[in-house]
Amino acid sequence: MHRFANPTRFMRLSAALLPWTAGAALALIAAGLYLGLFGSPADYQQGESVRIMYVHVPSAWMAMFCYTFMAGASAVGLIWKHPLADLAAKATAPVGACFTLLALITGSLWGKPMWGTWWEWDARMTSVLVLFFLYLGYIALINAFDDPTRGLKAAAILALVGFANVPIIKFSVDWWNTLHQPASVFKAGGPSIDPSMLAPLLLMGVGFTVYFLWVLMLRLRTEIVAAKVRALRLRQVRSGAPATPSGATPLGAKG
């Protein structure tokens, strides 16, 4: 792990991996969409509305996966002070928030025709809504400090405390009598879903995961470049050179 926590090495590795992750994400999601829309049957109870599953379920998986990753990276950042861990957690938060929002809205769009309601305050939906607010709180906390290091540290603690919510989401459908159905893929005894539906679901799930890696690398590169920019500006100020406005070349610098 230490090898990849080196920003220079990460920049080189991610530059090489970016085109591959981009291509793989697009191919996997395209295949998943094709199978989900054309290559899989309608459900005998739910009819065509079951196709919402192919975007809803992978989004919900990613909502929890991203949070777990963010909490793990925050822990590594707090304990071992890896230079990239905190930045990786910060780069993950908006991606996780987007997936959580998608899980909530597509769930609502699925719930209306199937359950007759857009929303119900049951344990699964409420705990996912809490997850969404945890992401927003994390992002807000990072930006609440002038000193980026302090913001990252405070947000990392929030991410770790909030991690208690992840098992609650996962097991909410077993612990409480929820309107939401229990797990049918990741459960003891194997998936209880037909292969023709499982294939597009897994393709979308893997596609979303690779998409996450793609966006994570882009955002992490942005954080590293932004940190370099901050360091250069600081040096500029210390050396007494005139501060340059954002993105501008100072007068006479090229002459």
Partner 1 sequence: MENLSQLLEMGGYARFVWPSFGLTLAVLVGLLVVSRRALKGAEAELAALQSAIPGRLQPADTADEA
Q: Are 58 and 35 in contact (CB under 8 A)?
A: no
**Closest CB to partner 1 among 76 and 91?**
91
User: CA–CA separation, 204 vs 223, rounded Å?
Assistant: 28
CA-CA distance, 196 to 44, in Å (whole number)? Answer: 14
In the bound state with partner 1, the residue whose beta carbon lies nearer, of 75 and 136, is 136
Residue 139 to residue 151: CA distance in whole angstroms:
9
* Residues at the interface with partner 1 (CB under 8 A): 33, 37-38, 42, 47-49, 51-52, 55-56, 59, 94-95, 98, 101-102, 105-106, 109-110, 112-113, 211, 214-215, 218-219, 221-222, 225-226, 228-229, 232-233, 235-236, 241, 244, 246-250, 253-254
Which lies closer to partner 1 via its Cβ, residue 1 or residue 248? 248
Q: Could you tell me the smallest distance in angstroms from the CB atom of residue 189 to partner 1?
A: 29
Select 157 or 226, whichever has its Cβ closest to partner 1.
226
Q: Select 4 or 118, whichever has its Cβ closest to partner 1.
A: 118
Q: Which residues contact 75 (CB under 8 A, 6 or more apart)?
A: 156, 160
For 68, 152, 197, the CA distances from 39, given in Å and listed in that order, are 32, 45, 9
The vertex-85 CA angle with 81 and 89, nearest 5°, equals: 130
CB of 138 to partner 1, least distance (A): 16
Quote the least distance from Cβ 28 to partner 1, whole Å.
Answer: 13
* Least gap, CB of 7 to partner 1 (angstroms): 13
- Residue in the structure block whose two tokens are 């309107």: 179
The structure tokens 């996966």 sit at 65
Q: Number of H helices and number of E strands within the chain? A: 7, 0
Q: How far is the CB of 180 from partner 1 (least distance, A)?
A: 16
E strand intervals along 97-248: none
Q: Rounded to the nearest whole angstrom, what is the least distance from the CB of residue 223 to partner 1 in the complex?
A: 8
- State which residue, 15 or 161, has the beta carbon closest to partner 1: 15
Q: Please report the sign of the dihedral spanned by the C-alpha atoms of residue 54, residue 56, residue 57, residue 58.
A: positive
